Amino acid sequence: MSEHTRPVGDFARLDVDRVRRRGYPEAIFCEGKTVSQVAAIAGALNDDYPTLFTRISQEQAEAVLGVLPDALYDEVARMVVWPPAEPEVSGVSVLVVCAGSSDLPVAREAMLTARYLGRSVELLVDVGVAGIHRLLEHEQKLHDAGVIIVAAGMDGALPSVVGGLVSAPVVAVPTSVGYGAGAGGVAPLLTMLNSCAPGVGVVNIDNGYGAGHLAAQIAAR
Amino acid sequence: MSEHTRPVGDFARLDVDRVRRRGYPEAIFCEGKTVSQVAAIAGALNDDYPTLFTRISQEQAEAVLGVLPDALYDEVARMVVWPPAEPEVSGVSVLVVCAGSSDLPVAREAMLTARYLGRSVELLVDVGVAGIHRLLEHEQKLHDAGVIIVAAGMDGALPSVVGGLVSAPVVAVPTSVGYGAGAGGVAPLLTMLNSCAPGVGVVNIDNGYGAGHLAAQIAAR
Amino acid sequence: MSEHTRPVGDFARLDVDRVRRRGYPEAIFCEGKTVSQVAAIAGALNDDYPTLFTRISQEQAEAVLGVLPDALYDEVARMVVWPPAEPEVSGVSVLVVCAGSSDLPVAREAMLTARYLGRSVELLVDVGVAGIHRLLEHEQKLHDAGVIIVAAGMDGALPSVVGGLVSAPVVAVPTSVGYGAGAGGVAPLLTMLNSCAPGVGVVNIDNGYGAGHLAAQIAAR
Amino acid sequence: MSEHTRPVGDFARLDVDRVRRRGYPEAIFCEGKTVSQVAAIAGALNDDYPTLFTRISQEQAEAVLGVLPDALYDEVARMVVWPPAEPEVSGVSVLVVCAGSSDLPVAREAMLTARYLGRSVELLVDVGVAGIHRLLEHEQKLHDAGVIIVAAGMDGALPSVVGGLVSAPVVAVPTSVGYGAGAGGVAPLLTMLNSCAPGVGVVNIDNGYGAGHLAAQIAAR
Amino acid sequence: MSEHTRPVGDFARLDVDRVRRRGYPEAIFCEGKTVSQVAAIAGALNDDYPTLFTRISQEQAEAVLGVLPDALYDEVARMVVWPPAEPEVSGVSVLVVCAGSSDLPVAREAMLTARYLGRSVELLVDVGVAGIHRLLEHEQKLHDAGVIIVAAGMDGALPSVVGGLVSAPVVAVPTSVGYGAGAGGVAPLLTMLNSCAPGVGVVNIDNGYGAGHLAAQIAAR
Amino acid sequence: MSEHTRPVGDFARLDVDRVRRRGYPEAIFCEGKTVSQVAAIAGALNDDYPTLFTRISQEQAEAVLGVLPDALYDEVARMVVWPPAEPEVSGVSVLVVCAGSSDLPVAREAMLTARYLGRSVELLVDVGVAGIHRLLEHEQKLHDAGVIIVAAGMDGALPSVVGGLVSAPVVAVPTSVGYGAGAGGVAPLLTMLNSCAPGVGVVNIDNGYGAGHLAAQIAAR
Amino acid sequence: MSEHTRPVGDFARLDVDRVRRRGYPEAIFCEGKTVSQVAAIAGALNDDYPTLFTRISQEQAEAVLGVLPDALYDEVARMVVWPPAEPEVSGVSVLVVCAGSSDLPVAREAMLTARYLGRSVELLVDVGVAGIHRLLEHEQKLHDAGVIIVAAGMDGALPSVVGGLVSAPVVAVPTSVGYGAGAGGVAPLLTMLNSCAPGVGVVNIDNGYGAGHLAAQIAAR
Amino acid sequence: MSEHTRPVGDFARLDVDRVRRRGYPEAIFCEGKTVSQVAAIAGALNDDYPTLFTRISQEQAEAVLGVLPDALYDEVARMVVWPPAEPEVSGVSVLVVCAGSSDLPVAREAMLTARYLGRSVELLVDVGVAGIHRLLEHEQKLHDAGVIIVAAGMDGALPSVVGGLVSAPVVAVPTSVGYGAGAGGVAPLLTMLNSCAPGVGVVNIDNGYGAGHLAAQIAAR
């Protein structure tokens, strides 16, 4: 048996060396795993191994809570966090900007991820570009942030506007909110990759976890 | 022989009835036609049959000018206009908003089309969303327009912002300016179709003629 | 708190300034919102704030009607309208042309939107191009309209034919009716963007609301 | 050596058995072949082996004519035909309908193919749906045809309209005429596959040869 | 009211003129229609108006049978046929070749359509190219057919092989059988459009009705 | 009746000649077949006709087990194997490498297929490239394998790394594990086709059966 | 005239306020601009307005050098930099990792951009995953970097491996190096968006400028 | 300096350890490299380092021959091989099957690659499925091969037929021969991935080198 990995049953191999190697723990992506697999992984954790369970279903979450009753479960963000205590804050601040209410699950997944990786995070909602004044009211808040995460679906135009206003790096996360041509998040993904403002790094569609993790790394000091 | 159409050689059939039926003359789309075909069509026109030659190459334009020496040739817009005199202005005004300098050929094709269909047209350039203040400086001009054409490539975010500011209808024309993911205008096309501001009608990529024509019809009174 | 926006809970921010700024109220796109979010928004409205709830589910609609019992609910168009009284009519008339019976939900969403934004609207159904005589019987009605909305799925060929017959602008809305190659509305969307008749502005697939809104803006006088 | 095939150099193997097996000779698709390969194939033919060289370049055609000086070369259709004499006509008649002048090369390739496979063929040009009256003037001609080939680019709407008017089968060939969304013939291909009129069989984009061959088989009696 | 169309409620307009104009009756595509709409259409038919209801659900079929108790219902092909008596046979014979058992619903829809439009039809199943000898055993049957319909999913290679063996036209219908890359029928559709054998006309994915209709028109004499 | 095929009802034709011709028996792909069709096929087998039922549902599997009670059913791999005894091992060994736990169903289908075609197979799980040390720990095992199957979703990067380490051929099978851009396995499929290490042959997304079969053929001696 | 923008001819409007607002100057994207437009922009600059000309052609570069003879021209990176003196270094260090030699132009564009925005940058070439030991030799260098840019084409697997080794954020830039399926950079783009290692932000295909700019912002202290 | 890699200028790092590690030398992919880079790499080789230069242009090839005058240059396959002597043959035989003459460059690249990696290779041309008898004439040759490479464009149907006839593994390489829908090799790629015959491993479009390399590894004994 390796000193770097910890086997769980015959189906998984926790990368327990990751905190030492990368500074951040491995997360458990729950989609495509059975309820009993997720529960077995929860059972293999111990207190000093902080873990985020992402894209967790109601049924999977209940199984984890059966094993780790004190874990934090956020249904909107589809996350379980263990241990539930927020880590000490370090680094610069992260601001999560959310274009519309339908983008909230992704924005919230990003917020919780960055917070549990040790960053101070604030959330700003419903400031889409169709009413640009709603965003400009918050221009100071945008300037004060160390890193900005922007979650948007539909036209995905918000990161271009935000990126053009600030000097902080922008992490853009397209959401699958929308329909018709370019549905499933393809339209905002392409918009963000083609942002006419520089300073925008893009993660996969609906990948709030990835956005929050990248922002936490950028904000580390 | 029909009273509605006028044959040109054995390859074309001018829809000379179109002005009576629709109020606007047929245009000649020159891509895919030979130089001699375009010249033959020019030769079949007479003074009371106003015509726009669109997407015309240098070589085709010279052939048309050989037949119609007084015609107007705009190299940037790739258009020849016959007869060259601007028609009398009617209807409300059209404002063409152009995101970047590289979008100018499309914006100019739209401008000339609307102008030669009888509208008053003004052009506003280089007001992309990466520097949103450049656009907001012109907010009054946006409010005064009867119809607004927005030409943009890259992220194509400009129509969403403009559409959210005004009550006039917006005709959005994506341009093929850009590269990489969603190149060839696919990215701004999808952005515009998914505009989170209503009131935006989209035409095909680089279709400045179509944008100008639609705007002229909307602006008719 | 801003004078331009009205917060609803911690998840939404109504753009109450929009009527002043754009002349038309904000609509509430209900897909991706929870039932309680939609109800909370309904509760934040008052009589002088006219609102369209679009793409509303049966369950969401019932929640809104619990808060606004007099609101109009159209199940086919998936809309709730508040207040239910039709506004006074102004502007030129809007004609909605619907290719097949399966396109009716989209056509009806367009019709209600234009009507509640203050336009006179008529609906013409089942006049697809496979039996072109069905359309040509109504040629006078097409000529009389101020703006024409065409909703079509499958081959999406109807706007090209209509656009070639009239001088009024055409708003084309592709529907997701169809299957196989280009399913989900991609085939009619591409057809409409490539219309060989000019004067056609396209909105997103199944976007009856957008078509109706754009038509209302065009028809305003 | 096989009795079914005739080798040409070390790079080709003529399917000389095809006329016996299928009733129609093999054609030589010239794209991707070198000039000397095409010439070598021409040299391997003899009088009783009728052959169509398709998609032939100017340079390749000259090489074939060097070997078979009496062969017919049609530059527009990019074809060389050997032997040049038209075969005796049999079967019902074929009508080729061409939406716009830019579709002529494809329409002409279809016409020549059907003619040299022994059918009577007529060509009707520039009758696109943007001026539907141009088509309806020819309704009797459409009703009289045994098979109709329709070549169209852009919106590709013509086969739906034609298919709805006649009882004869329609062979639809999309052309790569057009630009922007669905360019390269994708838009008309999807339109034709989704024709709301039945009785439409589709061949590949720009495949005039395939359209003419299929029509010739359908028209055989 | 027109002599060409018969209204059904306010949602449909039967093209009752189609038999006179095209020689074949209109079919009712049931997807996207409500049960009560389909039943109302059934109620508007009379004995001399033969009709195929295609893509009919179990629930829709029962509603039609409530109105037309003697109608024929084929659950595999998802069709209801009215009147149930097969019409007199005319024209040449149609052979339906089906690559695998999973393609049977589409093949059967094609078979019933051609049969109820008056053709003699035979069905050959499970002769895919992975065991080419299964097909070659039936070579005589292929040569005897007047028209051949080939239904295939997965690699869609069967029409190329069949087309290379016979002189009759081939109607190729790709099915949505398959998974992974090019799923939903895209892979066999592209294969068929690129058939290296000529004489293959393609209809939309899973469009057994369209394949049967086109074959019936080709086989008419 | 043919000596090569055995009919089952009127819907299938077993290719019983395949073992003689190819050395491997035909498999039954169960998706798209009815429960009774699958059961009928099971009933047509006899002891000396070894068969794999792939992509079998719970309900289909129970029907097969009703006919062949001793058959082996593996729910994770969605396979039923008949007869259940493993064949004698021959050829070189096969190693199945699985990037993440969510890829296990595909990896297991590959493993069982190769095993029941007579190969010795071992499985290595959860060795994705995000923790490259997990893979490098097993470098000796990689070098010892005669053929390596790599199953991976998400970025699909594992076959490139494995292929760069060994001289054995690699069979890469992309899985549909993932979401967002390139979902459904498109992203790992493209990655694998573009592997910068040579020696990688790719099968369709989620095609564990195909991967196992190809590996068994490669490993035969 | 605005205090925020400086007009150049009638085609451009320099966003001279950007340094004050964002801390970084505007760049001039030269593709799609004429030689004289680029030269005119160069003429409108003065010493205290640092500018990067990106994607500049040989001919455009010569025109700029005619106006600004001391400017730095890097032909491989297709950039002209003005003024040519490197700014003082601040922030943490940037490491550019380049998978293959063909990716060098993009990697070099990233390197120059970050350097001229004031960062210390090092470049590591030809360390693709097909020979993973080439990368692991440099593990210490990877751990020491403040930000890592990874440029890769083909399978685009390198960012996943690098991201799994370090705690610094990774900026991934897919290149258009490759061919066949997913050509033009689509394959590596999708790979990078689906990276199984977190901490990877993606920019558009071949967007070395964007990668360098984002890295410079991240590395600012 | 590493013992595993050999630097060439500042742009490349030869993986000289690869023969020891993988048993096969690294190839030099020449597209995207400058002429002087390719020449510099050639100059860094010595006699015991066998190397294939792939996708080499005429100009690059001449530069290599300037450095290594005895190297073998195959213009059709776009390869330079060093040293030119064929290695001793080992392993089982490889058969390259080529659907049409236009696929020859890819087939020849595969043939040379396998031959210079030490295998016995034979080539069979112009045996596409439109004339299936041409293939069946060679059935014995197919059965005798140890590995079969199939190169095909257009419909890409050949590997399915070949795979159904033999027990040897099939390496399928789609070519970019074809046009229209699925052009650039997409159609045959999808066909091959969806082959209804098992035992087919696919490489990237036009990747003759990859096909030959994989076949050589499979054929090794």
Most E CBs within 10 Å, among C106, C122, C123, C179, to test the E interface:
C179
Across the range B194-201, mean pLDDT stands at 96
**Given a contact as 3+ CB pairs under 8 Å, which chains touch D?**
B, C, E, H
Burial of D21 (0-12, 13-18, 19+ CB in 10 A): middle
Kindly tell me if the per-residue pLDDT of G2 is higher than 60: no
Q: Which residues contact D201 (CB under 8 A, 6 or more apart)?
A: D169, D170, D171, D172, D214, E171, E201, E202, E203, E214
Question: How many distinct structural domains can be found in chain B?
Answer: 2
Residue G131 or residue E77, greater confidence: E77
Q: Does H198 touch chain F (CB under 8 A)?
A: yes
- What per-residue confidence (pLDDT) applies to F47? 67
Q: Which two tokens stand for residue C97?
A: 């042309």
Name C150's bridge partners: C97, C172
Reported as a single tens digit per residue, the pLDDT across E111-158 is 999 999 999 999 999 888 988 988 999 999 999 999 999 999 999 999
Across the range E85-92, mean pLDDT stands at 95
Tell me H126's DSSP state: -
Q: In this structure, is residue E1 part of a structural domain?
A: no
Q: In this structure, is residue D129 part of a structural domain?
A: yes
Nearest to E204 among D168, D194, D210 (CB): D194
| Together in a domain, E74 and E107 | no
- By C-alpha distance, the chain G residue nearest A15 is G164
How would you write the pLDDT of chain F (221 residues) with one tens digit per residue?
345 678 888 888 887 777 777 788 889 999 989 999 999 999 988 766 789 999 999 999 999 999 999 999 999 999 999 999 999 999 999 999 999 989 999 999 999 999 999 999 999 998 889 889 889 999 999 999 999 999 999 999 999 999 999 999 999 999 999 999 989 999 999 999 999 999 999 999 999 999 999 999 999 98
Residue H128 or residue B53, greater confidence: B53
Residue A155 or residue E22, greater confidence: A155
Q: Do chains F and D touch (3 or more CB pairs under 8 A)?
A: no
Give C123→chain B minimum CA distance, Å: 20
**Given a contact as 3+ CB pairs under 8 Å, which chains touch F?**
A, E, G, H
Across the range A202-215, mean pLDDT stands at 98
Reduced to 3 states, what is the DSSP secondary structure of residue F189?
A: helix
Domain end position, chosen among C33, C59, C82: C82
Q: Which of C144, C139, C90 is nearest to C122 (CA)?
A: C144
Q: In this structure, is residue E87 part of a structural domain?
A: no
Q: Do chains A and E touch (3 or more CB pairs under 8 A)?
A: no
- What per-residue confidence (pLDDT) applies to D105? 95
Burial of G23 (0-12, 13-18, 19+ CB in 10 A): middle
Most C CBs within 10 Å, among E6, E13, E24, to test the C interface:
E13
- By C-alpha distance, the chain C residue nearest E11 is C101
A186, amino acid identity = V
Q: Which of C126, C114, C110, C86 is nearest to C208 (CA)?
A: C110
Reported as a single tens digit per residue, the pLDDT across D122-181 is 999 988 898 898 899 999 999 999 999 999 999 999 999 999 999 999 999 999 999 999
How far is it, in rounded angstroms, from Cα H32 to Cα G176?
10
Give B126→chain A minimum CA distance, Å: 12
- By C-alpha distance, the chain B residue nearest G2 is B137
- Are C205 and A179 a contacting pair at CB < 8 A? yes
| Together in a domain, E130 and E192 | yes
Mean pLDDT of chain F: 92
| Together in a domain, E67 and E135 | no
- Are E205 and C134 a contacting pair at CB < 8 A? no
Banded model confidence at residue D3, pLDDT cuts 50, 70, 90: low
Give G185→chain B minimum CA distance, Å: 7
Reported as a single tens digit per residue, the pLDDT across C68-96 is 999 999 999 999 999 999 999 999 999 99
How far is it, in rounded angstroms, from Cα H98 to Cα H152?
6
Chain E residues closer than 8 Å to D166 by CB:
22
Q: Among positive and negative, which fits the CA dihedral D166, D171, D172, D177?
A: negative
- Are B180 and G207 a contacting pair at CB < 8 A? yes
How far is it, in rounded angstroms, from Cα E44 to Cα F106?
52
Alpha helices in chain F (DSSP H): 18-22, 35-43, 58-67, 104-116, 132-136, 139-144, 158-163, 186-193, 208-219
Strands A94-98 and A121-125: parallel
How far is it, in rounded angstroms, from Cα D55 to Cα B71?
37
- What per-residue confidence (pLDDT) applies to G131? 87
In DSSP notation, A132-174 reads HHHHHTTHHHHHH-SEEEEEE-TT--HHHHHHTT-SS-EEEEE
Q: Do chains A and H touch (3 or more CB pairs under 8 A)?
A: no
Across the range B37-61, mean pLDDT stands at 90
Residue A144: HSE in the Cβ half-sphere, 13 Å Cα cutoff: 9
How far is it, in rounded angstroms, from Cα C53 to Cα C29?
6
- What per-residue confidence (pLDDT) applies to D89? 96
How far is it, in rounded angstroms, from Cα A202 to Cα G170?
11
Q: In this structure, is residue F87 part of a structural domain?
A: no
- What per-residue confidence (pLDDT) applies to F23? 82
**Given a contact as 3+ CB pairs under 8 Å, which chains touch B?**
A, C, D, G
Reported as a single tens digit per residue, the pLDDT across H31-87 is 989 999 999 999 988 766 789 999 999 999 999 999 999 999 999 999 999 999 999
For residue G114, the tally of other CB atoms under 10 A from its CB is 31
Q: Does F155 touch chain G (CB under 8 A)?
A: yes
Cα angle: E73, vertex E76, E81; to 5 degrees? 25
- What per-residue confidence (pLDDT) applies to F48? 67
Q: Does B174 touch chain C (CB under 8 A)?
A: no
Across the range E11-31, mean pLDDT stands at 83
Chain G residues closer than 8 Å to B184 by CB:
none
Kindly tell me if the per-residue pLDDT of D2 is higher than 70: no
- By C-alpha distance, the chain A residue nearest C14 is A126
Chain H residues closer than 8 Å to D189 by CB:
180-181
* For residue A169, cis peptide bond before it (omega within 30 degrees of 0): no
Q: Do chains B and H touch (3 or more CB pairs under 8 A)?
A: no
* Spatial contact of A83 and A71, defined as CB atoms under 8 Å apart: yes
Strands (E), chain H: 6-8, 12-14, 28-29, 51-54, 72-74, 79-82, 94-98, 121-125, 147-152, 170-174, 200-202
Q: In this structure, is residue A88 part of a structural domain?
A: no
- What per-residue confidence (pLDDT) applies to A47? 67
In DSSP notation, chain E reads --SS-EEETTTEEE-TTHHHHHSSPPPEE-TTS-HHHHHHHHHT--TTS-EEEES--HHHHHHHHHHSTT-EEETTTTEEEES-SPPPP-SS-EEEEESSGGGHHHHHHHHHHHHHTT--EEEEE---GGGHHHHHTTHHHHHH-SEEEEEE-TT--HHHHHHTT-SS-EEEEE-S---STTGGGHHHHHHHHT-SSS-EEE--TT-HHHHHHHHHHHH--
Alpha helices in H95-206 (DSSP H): 104-116, 132-136, 139-144, 158-163, 186-193
Q: Do chains D and E touch (3 or more CB pairs under 8 A)?
A: yes
For residue E221, the tally of other CB atoms under 10 A from its CB is 8
Nearest to B199 among C193, C200, C214 (CB): C214
Tell me C62's DSSP state: H
Q: Does B19 touch chain D (CB under 8 A)?
A: no
Most C CBs within 10 Å, among E16, E19, E29, to test the C interface:
E29
Q: Does E85 touch chain F (CB under 8 A)?
A: no
- Are E206 and C131 a contacting pair at CB < 8 A? no
- Are C197 and D130 a contacting pair at CB < 8 A? yes
Reported as a single tens digit per residue, the pLDDT across C5-45 is 788 888 888 877 777 777 888 899 999 899 999 999 999 88
Burial of B149 (0-12, 13-18, 19+ CB in 10 A): buried
| Together in a domain, B74 and B120 | no
| Together in a domain, G146 and G114 | yes
Q: What is the pTM of this model?
A: 0.96
For chain A, the farthest-separated pair of C-alpha atoms sits apart, in whole angstroms, at: 59
| Together in a domain, F188 and F131 | yes
Q: Which residues contact B132 (CB under 8 A, 6 or more apart)?
A: A132, A136, A161, A164, A165, B161
Nearest to C11 among A101, A127, A181 (CB): A101
Q: In this structure, is residue F192 part of a structural domain?
A: yes
Q: Do chains C and B touch (3 or more CB pairs under 8 A)?
A: yes
Q: Which of H174, E210, E195 is nearest to D209 (CA)?
A: E195
| Together in a domain, D67 and D35 | yes
Nearest to G102 among H17, H32, H204 (CB): H32
* Spatial contact of E185 and E174, defined as CB atoms under 8 Å apart: yes
Reported as a single tens digit per residue, the pLDDT across G164-181 is 999 999 999 999 999 999
Rounded to 10 degrees, the C-alpha dihedral D103/D106/D107/D108 comes to: 120
Q: What is the CA A218 to chain-centroid distance, rounded?
A: 13
Q: Which two tokens stand for residue G164?
A: 């799994």
Banded model confidence at residue C1, pLDDT cuts 50, 70, 90: very low
Q: Does B177 touch chain G (CB under 8 A)?
A: yes
Q: Which residues contact E117 (CB under 8 A, 6 or more apart)?
A: E24, E87, E212, E213, E216
Domain end position, chosen among D22, D50, D82: D82
| Together in a domain, A120 and A64 | no
Q: Does E11 touch chain F (CB under 8 A)?
A: no
Q: Does B155 touch chain G (CB under 8 A)?
A: no
For residue F125, the tally of other CB atoms under 10 A from its CB is 23
Give B181→chain G minimum CA distance, Å: 6
Domain that holds residue F176: 94-220
**Given a contact as 3+ CB pairs under 8 Å, which chains touch E?**
C, D, F, H
Chain E residues closer than 8 Å to D171 by CB:
201
Domain end position, chosen among E23, E55, E82: E82
Kindly tell me if the per-residue pLDDT of D20 is higher than 80: no
Banded model confidence at residue E3, pLDDT cuts 50, 70, 90: low
CATH of the domain at E167: 3.40.50.1970
Buried b (16+ CB within 10 A) or exposed e, A11-40: bbbbbbbbeebbbbbbbbbbebbbeebbbb
- By C-alpha distance, the chain A residue nearest C202 is A181
Cα angle: D102, vertex D103, D105; to 5 degrees? 100
Banded model confidence at residue E47, pLDDT cuts 50, 70, 90: low
E31, amino acid identity = E
Nearest to E134 among F5, F33, F205 (CB): F5
Give C204→chain A minimum CA distance, Å: 6
- Are D134 and B11 a contacting pair at CB < 8 A? no
| Together in a domain, B195 and B131 | yes
Reduced to 3 states, what is the DSSP secondary structure of residue A109?
A: helix
| Together in a domain, C108 and C64 | no
Across the range A83-102, mean pLDDT stands at 95
Reduced to 3 states, what is the DSSP secondary structure of residue G116?
A: helix
Q: Does A213 touch chain G (CB under 8 A)?
A: yes
Mean pLDDT of chain C: 93
Q: Does C127 touch chain E (CB under 8 A)?
A: yes
For residue G101, the tally of other CB atoms under 10 A from its CB is 25
Reduced to 3 states, what is the DSSP secondary structure of residue G86?
A: coil
Q: In this structure, is residue E88 part of a structural domain?
A: no
Q: At what angle do helices D208-219 and D104-116 cross, to 10 degrees?
A: 40
| Together in a domain, E29 and E130 | no
Reported as a single tens digit per residue, the pLDDT across D44-90 is 887 667 899 999 999 999 999 999 999 999 999 999 999 999 999 99
Most A CBs within 10 Å, among B136, B190, B192, B202, to test the A interface:
B190
| Together in a domain, C32 and C109 | no
Give A17→chain C minimum CA distance, Å: 39
How far is it, in rounded angstroms, from Cα H109 to Cα H175?
12
Q: How far is CA B140 from CA B115, B136, B143, C220, F178, in A?
A: 22, 9, 5, 20, 48
- Are F127 and A13 a contacting pair at CB < 8 A? yes
Q: Does E202 touch chain D (CB under 8 A)?
A: yes
- Are B31 and D126 a contacting pair at CB < 8 A? no
How far is it, in rounded angstroms, from Cα H116 to Cα H112?
6
- What per-residue confidence (pLDDT) applies to B2? 47
Give H161→chain F minimum CA distance, Å: 12
If phi > 0 it is left, if psi is from -120 to 50 it is alpha, else beta; for residue D156 that is: left
Q: Which of H219, H217, H10, H213 is nearest to H113 (CA)?
A: H213
Q: In this structure, is residue A89 part of a structural domain?
A: no
Reported as a single tens digit per residue, the pLDDT across H81-105 is 999 999 999 999 999 999 998 999 9
Q: Which of H204, H212, H214, H215 is nearest to H174 (CA)?
A: H204
- What per-residue confidence (pLDDT) applies to G133? 87
Q: Which of B185, B186, H110, H29 is nearest to G179 (CA)?
A: H29
Q: Which of F161, F139, F141, F138 is nearest to F150 (CA)?
A: F161
Strands (E), chain G: 6-8, 12-14, 28-29, 51-54, 72-74, 79-82, 94-98, 121-125, 147-152, 170-174, 200-202
